[in-house]
Chains A and B, each alone.
Chain A
Amino acid sequence: MSDAPQPDRIPAALATPKSGRTFPFVWLVPAIALVVGAWLAISHYLERGTTIVISFHTAEGLQAGKTKIKYKDIDIGQITEISLAPDLSGVVATAELIKGAENRVVEDTRFWVVRPRISGSTVSGLQTLLSGTYVAMDVGKSTTRARVFTGLEQPPAFTTDAPGRQITLRADDAGSLDIGSPVYFRRLQVGQVAAYGLDKDGKSVKITVFINAPYHRFVTSNSRFWHASGIDMAVDSEGVRIKTESLVSIAIGGIAFATPFDESEPAPITADTVFRLQRSQADAFKSPDRIADNYVLVFNQSVRGLQPGAAVDFRGIVVGEVTAIRTQYDPDTQKIAIPVEIRVYPERFTARMAGGAQKSERLVRNGKFMAGLVEHGLRAQLRTGALLTGQLYVALDFFPDAPKVKLDLAQSPPELPTRPSALEDLQQTLVALANKLERMPLDTMAQDLSHTLKTVDTLVKRLDSEMGPTLSEGRQTLVELRKTLADVSKTMNQANGALSAAQQSLGPDSALLTELQDTAREFSRTAQSLRALADYLERNPQSLIRGKGE
């Protein structure tokens, strides 16, 4: 058999009609693949979102690839990498945010780590015990996008979109305030402390509070803020008063505010309005002292018992306070004086004007006012406030008899003339008296006295010699007088006898009296008969003529 097949025995394939040149559709496949691949790559790139960098103090609880970034509890990203900061001061977390979040990460967007926190008033982040910590975000208001952030160590007390108002307060100290401490308005909690920190100069504490809407409307430029921490106890003439805000504020401190209602429209508060946080409500409602003048007082006596902060008092009205007590050495005279610095609020002298005149602030400016008072005898004096404790205070009062002094306003601070205190006054008087006594010519006085006594002695002697005869004459007269008296006594006895005889004859049962009584009775009967006759005659006057009829 031949290798070659038999062509004629093999059937011929059926010819197909020519379809002409066809489009190579198969090349659409790589084209589609290209499109799909590009689409996948582009969509993935677009969905990647933004990468941001947040620095924290510590990476506690943070895990790369696990820790979420949440906004309003919705995942918006994830921490992809955590590394140490180049200077080892903290950690730097790189986070990838989902698409669409990049518009939210602006300059003032804040990030903080949500961990379980338990403080005096709040318990937060407990869910993170189970779910692990996460990074929370608060969207800022700025429009400038940012990529590098510093994470907060404390969660902010309020979020940027919370309705309300942020208020800045300045206080001498933070008291027991903490972040989250309540803010009260009419004993209603209307906000909380958002942040606090020392001022740059370290002289005061700056406290930022957040007042929730709608209460922020009640904060106006004349609102007063005070520490509502703890218990405010006052003992005064009205008795014992104890004031507190709420139990929470006793425990963790708080701030209260009130807005005095004033007829005038209060100025609107601006972003940089800083309110003063006062120690107590009473302090807060004191009218603010806009003018404070410093003076120095030089006392030449002990200031034991006087302390900085002691009151400067004008007839019972506190018009200032002692700010400092120093010593001043004069090397020329080797004298040590004690200058006491005081601060006086001259407006407190002029709360009202006599005759209802308009009060002018200019009146008390520049110290002219005080200079005028000094010319009229205003002096400073140390007085004892409490005898038991020996506390001193500075009293300002008028001493019209004080020597004239002019207030030297050129000095800084000007020296206000002083006057010794009452006790010292007395002491000085006594000393002056003693001095006067000392100056008295006691020797000559004694000589004069003995001379006088001698003169008296001679006088007495002369009297003795001259009065002798007169006295014996008097004695004779007295003897005669006694005789006369004895005669008088006899006469009196005789009179006595006569009187007793009279008494006998006039006694109650004497014969004379009985006869008198009988006579009287007889007389009485006669009188009756006469009356009967008279009556009869009155009725029957004719009987005088005709005689008694039947």
Chain B
Amino acid sequence: MTSAASLGLVSCHTCSLVSRAPDDGEGLCPRCGSPVHSRKPGSIGKTWAYLIAAMILYVPANALPMMLTSSLFGSSDDTIISGVLFLWDDGSWYLALIVFVASILVPLAKMVALLVLLLSVQFPVDRAPERRTRLARLYRAIESVGRWSMLDIYVVALLCTVVQLTALASVHAGPAALAFGAVVVLTMLATESFDARLIWDPVHQFHERRATT
């Protein structure tokens, strides 16, 4: 199976004009002047960088308190997991489930998925096209689910602005909110900087190898 890259063609991401790539594979679209490249330059490196940053910040995001609540009857510092446990104990298991999925599971799953994608691109073990299709499906999934992981940040932001009855109760964002927000943004950046076409490059080699044998 041939690919645009193997034919020395590049497609413009802005106006979708197909043009012949310069020798080093990078140039400007002859129609709209946007940069064109056969593969996103440094895609893997960028993705790695964002992913590692996200993984680093994931630790404080979960370990530190997300929300500082103080009221007439006491104050509490809630981490994400303690909030989930509180909701669970409170009987609102469905809410607990939603928060758990959106705030803990999804970012974690995204990072794991990106890790899998990156490793499978850099160290392709199974080059069969069916496998690659599965990887692509994974990529589409993390891209679409990304926006939902901001749920927790929304909740905190909303409570911070609404619950400010200084004397009776107040809610403040904890240090984890910053880290958590950064995790979400970084995973989205990582997803965005990952060039999905890299998934298929090993397939080409798979066909070539089959052809030679």
Is the CB–CB distance between A33 and B9 below 8 Å?
no
Query: Does B3 sit at the interface, judged by CB under 8 A?
Result: no
Is the CB–CB distance between B21 and A13 below 8 Å?
yes
A26 to B76 alpha-carbon distance, docked (Å): 38
Query: Does B129 sit at the interface, judged by CB under 8 A?
Result: no
Residues in chain A near residue B31, CB distance under 8 A: 11
Residues in chain B near residue A18, CB distance under 8 A: 24
Residues in chain B near residue A33, CB distance under 8 A: 52-54, 56-57, 182, 186
Closest to A45 in B: B64
In the complex, per-residue mask of B156-189: 1 if CB is within 8 Å of any chain A CB, else 0? 0000000000000000000110110010001001
A44 to B22 alpha-carbon distance, docked (Å): 52
Residues in chain B near residue A68, CB distance under 8 A: 74
A395 to B28 alpha-carbon distance, docked (Å): 131
Query: Does A40 sit at the interface, judged by CB under 8 A?
Result: yes
In the complex, per-residue mask of A6-23: 1 if CB is within 8 Å of any chain B CB, else 0? 010011111110100000
Residues in chain A near residue B36, CB distance under 8 A: 13
Interface residues of B in 38-94 (CB under 8 A from A): 42, 45-46, 49-50, 52-54, 56-57, 59-60, 63-65, 72-76
Nearest CB of A to B177, in Å: 10
Residues in chain B near residue A24, CB distance under 8 A: 42, 45, 49
Is the CB–CB distance between A29 and B50 below 8 Å?
yes
Interface residues of B in 3-41 (CB under 8 A from A): 7-10, 17-24, 26-31, 33, 35-36
Question: Given that A10-B9, A41-B63 are known contacts, is A30 also in contact with B49, CB under 8 Å in the complex?
Answer: yes
| Most B C-beta atoms less than 10 A away, residue of A12, A30, A65 | A30
Is the CB–CB distance between A36 and B74 below 8 Å?
no
Identify which of B10, B73, B175 contacts A40 (C-beta below 8 A).
Answer: B175
Residues in chain B near residue A43, CB distance under 8 A: 175
In the complex, per-residue mask of A32-76: 1 if CB is within 8 Å of any chain B CB, else 0? 111011001101100000000000000000010111100000000
Chain A interface, >50% SS class: mixed
Identify which of A11, A16, A36, A132 contacts B57 (C-beta below 8 A).
Answer: A36
Is the CB–CB distance between B74 and A12 below 8 Å?
no
Question: Given that A11-B19, A13-B21 are known contacts, is A66 also in contact with B73, CB under 8 Å in the complex?
Answer: yes
Is the CB–CB distance between A26 and B50 below 8 Å?
yes
Nearest CB of B to A418, in Å: 78
Question: Given that A13-B29, A26-B42 are known contacts, is A78 also in contact with B75, CB under 8 Å in the complex?
Answer: yes
A24 to B46 alpha-carbon distance, docked (Å): 9
Is the CB–CB distance between A10 and B27 below 8 Å?
no
Query: Does A5 sit at the interface, judged by CB under 8 A?
Result: yes
Chain B interface, >50% SS class: mixed
A41 to B31 alpha-carbon distance, docked (Å): 50
What is the size, in residues, of chain A's interface with B at 8 Å between Cβ atoms?
Answer: 34
Is the CB–CB distance between A13 and B49 below 8 Å?
no
Is the CB–CB distance between B19 and A41 below 8 Å?
no
A13 to B46 alpha-carbon distance, docked (Å): 25
Question: Given that A12-B30, A16-B28, A63-B74 are known contacts, is A29 also in contact with B60, CB under 8 Å in the complex?
Answer: no
Question: Given that A11-B17, A13-B19 are known contacts, is A78 also in contact with B74, CB under 8 Å in the complex?
Answer: yes
Residues in chain A near residue B54, CB distance under 8 A: 33
Is the CB–CB distance between A10 and B179 below 8 Å?
no
Is the CB–CB distance between B57 and A37 below 8 Å?
yes
Is the CB–CB distance between B18 and A30 below 8 Å?
no
Residues in chain B near residue A470, CB distance under 8 A: none
Residues in chain A near residue B23, CB distance under 8 A: 15
Query: Does A131 sit at the interface, judged by CB under 8 A?
Result: yes
A34 to B58 alpha-carbon distance, docked (Å): 11
Identify which of A26, A36, A66 contacts B179 (C-beta below 8 A).
Answer: A36
Nearest CB of B to A6, in Å: 11
Is the CB–CB distance between B7 and A5 below 8 Å?
yes
Residues in chain B near residue A36, CB distance under 8 A: 57, 178-179, 182
Residues in chain A near residue B75, CB distance under 8 A: 78
Is the CB–CB distance between B42 and A32 below 8 Å?
no
Question: Given that A26-B49, A36-B182, A44-B175 are known contacts, is A12 also in contact with B19, CB under 8 Å in the complex?
Answer: yes
Query: Does A27 sit at the interface, judged by CB under 8 A?
Result: yes
Closest to B193 in A: A26
Is the CB–CB distance between B53 and A30 below 8 Å?
yes
Closest to B75 in A: A78
Closest to A28 in B: B49
Nearest CB of A to B127, in Å: 23
A13 to B21 alpha-carbon distance, docked (Å): 6
Question: Given that A40-B60, A65-B76 are known contacts, is A10 also in contact with B49, CB under 8 Å in the complex?
Answer: no
Residues in chain B near residue A63, CB distance under 8 A: 74
A12 to B63 alpha-carbon distance, docked (Å): 53
Closest to B27 in A: A13
Additional A-B contacts beyond A29-B49, A65-B76 (4; CB < 8 A): A29-B50, A33-B52, A37-B179, A67-B74
Mark B residues whose CB is within 8 Å of A: 2, 7-10, 17-24, 26-31, 33, 35-36, 42, 45-46, 49-50, 52-54, 56-57, 59-60, 63-65, 72-76, 175-176, 178-179, 182, 186, 189, 193
Closest 5 CB pairs of A and B: A66-B74, A33-B53, A13-B27, A30-B53, A30-B52
- In the complex, 18 of the A-B residue pairs with CB atoms within 8 angstroms, ordered by the A residue number, are A4-B7, A10-B18, A10-B19, A12-B19, A12-B20, A12-B22, A13-B27, A13-B29, A33-B52, A34-B56, A36-B178, A40-B175, A40-B179, A41-B63, A44-B65, A65-B74, A68-B74, A131-B72
